[in-house]
Amino acid sequence: MPATPQRRRTVRRLTIGAAVLAAAGLTATALPAGADTGHAARAGRTVDVQLLSFNDFHGNLEPPQGSSGTVEEVQPDGSKKSVAAGGAEYLAQSLRTARKGHPYSVTAAAGDLVGASPLLSGLFHDEPTIEAMNKLGLDVTSVGNHEFDEGRAELTRLQKGGCHPKDGCYEKGKKFRGAGFPYLTANVTDEKSGKPLLKPYTVWKHKGVKIGFIGVTLEGTPDIVNADGVKGLKFHDEVETINKYAKVLNKQGVKSIVALIHEGGLPASTSYNYKCDSPGPGDGISGPITDIAKHVTPKVDALVTGHTHQAYSCTIPDPSGRPRTVTSAASYGKLYTDTTLTYDRRTRDIVRTTVKAPHAANHVVDRTQPKAADMTSLIARWNKLAAPVAGRPVGHISADIAGRGANAPESPLGDVISDAQLEATKADGKGGAQLALMNPGGVRSDLAFKASGSEGDGVVTYGEAFTVQPFTNMMNVVDLTGAQLLTGLQQQVSGPNEASPKILQVSEGLTYTLDMTKSGAARVVKDSVKLDGAALDPAKTYRVAMNEFLAGGGDGFAAFKDGKNKYVGPSDLDAFTTYLTAHSSADKPLTPPKADRIKVVK
């Protein structure tokens, strides 16, 4: 489903003597896991394993457009700089460069590699992305909620290979080979058999070193994907599942364990190089991953997380009090995390003391480096197949229209999309909608003025529109009373959405005040909700347009499940492209809306 970013290393300093040993090809000695002090063991007892990781790639083979393709970097003087980042050509090059000089290197991901993808990948059911992940050397990944967008059968096909059951093979004489790495689904089981959908864990081995990987997605996945995508599946508690399989791995003699968790947190700063463990007031990280990290067994040595699309490298104590790294590399391949795991050959565990955790840092996948030639070739090959569909102009804009990259509850692109959905469903016989609501997680990108190809600046192509609205959810129009509609608006900031609000994008005519100084449902000022200037009447029935995901109660909007007299309209993508074509031309391009429908009090 439409995703919503909702609800998871200080290298031991070498002494001068140890550095000399390292230069001579030997390895510094280490303390056994869990020990604070001790005598140095013989040289060669430990080896540094490089863990490279990323998350939430979402099929972004080409560099993401607009603000979706940048990361924020804090400068030495405290100022902040926006750095262009991302794209498979640069991610592959970054990872290959990082691996040089590291004989022990493993690459892992924390879910949402596919789903909500730009047209280049999404048009082909994400086969291009799986092919790219194979080429760049991914060793293992957990599933994320988006791996279930097209259901369990399609996820299984991505793992095992085979041509699409409806669309077939895309290239003559070529059969899709599937992922050359395991997708881990430890906490996703079949309702009937009770067995994990795919492998729950895997063990990476190299020259006697063994590291176990356990992969889970957030337990709440069924709440944020369409019901058909998770039919027949059960999702279990993340902590309980990880702890269960950590015991299994230990019994097999695997003492070094990394958890790949598609659940995350919210750091106090949006800068990728923010020092998460700095002691200032308000610093650190919040969100679901903090509670998960505090309860995952000490048997697990590092947590690689995702889902919130945030960048962080933090240290959170495990239940025994020892520090443990918790990392996330933002999204769309804009960053990768480099973690040093010092492996003790005698204990077969990762060295972690009560003072220091393994060292981890995020690095920018910058676009000034050379491109990986095999990725350039892959992108060109699939672009050629997609060109007849992707390059078709569907509209014109006068400037960037911020969507995913807007740092505000209401985005200009969210306004455009909700207006498009209202227009597509307001006529008699087409739903009779009076207003439209759009979930923010379904707005996947910005619309950038600068041309992404040869179409020219200001031209919106079908491929660019698809990147913004990739789910092709069908539009629904339902009857809701004013009271139900108000409850739905309150659910943006209460219940499961209180800690991380999901502010719906609203069509023109619907206005209200959001008071964030209050808590829970009280944040929506009741008397301020108006439609076309008239106060919302709790007893009156309104025709409300929304995508099928929202109409099914997705993202915590249970009130919308009670809608009556459902009308099914066009897809959200068709509504969007039709609106762009009708309301813009080369001479009169669409200008960004003011995004002033929701008044926010902070």
129-176 pLDDT per residue, tens: 999 999 999 999 999 999 999 999 999 999 999 999 999 999 999 999
More confident residue, 1 or 289: 289
pLDDT at residue 28 tops 90: no
pLDDT at residue 93 tops 50: yes
| DSSP letter string, 372-384 | PHHHHHHHHHHHH
Across residues 116-141, what is the average pLDDT? 97
Phi first, then psi, for residue 49 (nearest 5°) are -100, 130
CB 311 within 8 A of CB 328: yes
Tokens in use for 216? 């889970």
Q: pLDDT value at position 3?
A: 46
Which range has the worst mean pLDDT, 15-19, 63-67, 196-200?
Answer: 15-19
For the entire predicted model, the pTM comes to 0.88
pLDDT at residue 5 tops 50: no
C-beta neighbour count of 568 within 10 angstroms = 12
481-533 pLDDT per residue, tens: 999 999 999 999 999 999 889 999 999 999 999 999 999 999 999 999 999 99
Across residues 94-117, what is the average pLDDT? 98
By the 10 Å C-beta count (0-12 exposed, 13-18 middle, 19+ buried), 205 is classed as exposed
Which range has the worst mean pLDDT, 13-22, 71-80, 568-577?
Answer: 13-22
Q: pLDDT value at position 66?
A: 85
Least Cα distance to 220 among 58, 441, 2, 7 occurs for 7
Least Cα distance to 198 among 243, 134, 141 occurs for 141
- 186 confidence band (pLDDT: 50, 70, 90): very high
Q: pLDDT value at position 466?
A: 97
- 11 confidence band (pLDDT: 50, 70, 90): very low
CB 315 within 8 A of CB 333: no
CB 53 within 8 A of CB 306: no
C-beta neighbour count of 569 within 10 angstroms = 20
Give the whole-number percent of the chain exceeding pLDDT 90: 88
Half-sphere exposure at residue 174, Cβ-oriented, CA atoms within 13 angstroms? 10
Q: pLDDT value at position 31?
A: 36
Give the C-alpha separation, 23 to 40, whole Å. Answer: 18
pLDDT at residue 9 tops 60: no
| DSSP classification of residue 360 | E
pLDDT at residue 22 tops 70: no
> Given the structure tokens 């660019």, which residue do they identify?
464
Spell out the residues 6+ positions from residue 297 whose beta carbon is closer than 8 angstroms to its own. 242, 243, 246, 247, 318, 319
337-362 pLDDT per residue, tens: 999 999 999 999 999 988 888 899 99
Element (H, E) at 478: strand 474-481
Average of per-residue pLDDT values in the chain: 92
CB 547 within 8 A of CB 474: yes
What are all long-range contacts of 496-500, with beta carbons under 8 Å and residues at least 24 apart? 496/6, 496/7, 496/220, 496/223, 496/556, 497/6, 497/555, 497/556, 499/7, 499/286, 499/287, 500/5, 500/6, 500/7, 500/266, 500/287
Q: pLDDT value at position 592?
A: 97
Least Cα distance to 551 among 470, 469, 433 occurs for 433
pLDDT at residue 282 tops 50: yes
**Which amino acid does the sequence have at 316?**
I
Give the C-alpha separation, 107 to 337, whole Å. Answer: 10
Element (H, E) at 570: strand 564-571
More confident residue, 177 or 37: 177
Across residues 451-476, what is the average pLDDT? 95
DSSP bridge partners of 90: none
Across residues 570-583, what is the average pLDDT? 98
Which range has the worst mean pLDDT, 256-265, 400-409, 475-484?
Answer: 400-409
pLDDT at residue 42 tops 80: no
Q: pLDDT value at position 276?
A: 93
Q: pLDDT value at position 15?
A: 31
362-384 pLDDT per residue, tens: 999 999 999 999 999 999 999 99
Spell out the residues 6+ positions from residue 342 whose beta carbon is closer than 8 angstroms to its own. 11, 12, 30, 46, 47, 48, 49, 350, 351, 358
Give the C-alpha separation, 371 to 375, whole Å. Answer: 8
Give the C-alpha separation, 225 to 1, whole Å. Answer: 4
| DSSP classification of residue 327 | E
Tokens in use for 50? 């490089």
β pairing state of 459-461 and 534-535: unpaired
Give the C-alpha separation, 165 to 172, whole Å. Answer: 16
By the 10 Å C-beta count (0-12 exposed, 13-18 middle, 19+ buried), 596 is classed as exposed
β pairing state of 105-109 and 46-54: parallel
pLDDT at residue 304 tops 50: yes
Q: pLDDT value at position 51?
A: 98
Tokens in use for 463? 């491929």
Spell out the residues 6+ positions from residue 359 whose beta carbon is closer than 8 angstroms to its own. 9, 10, 11, 325, 339, 340
Q: pLDDT value at position 405?
A: 84
Distance set, CA 344 to CA 49, 88, 197, 247, 255 (Å): 10, 34, 33, 19, 10
Helix 127-135 × helix 88-99 angle, to 10° = 20
Least Cα distance to 223 among 296, 114, 289, 307 occurs for 307
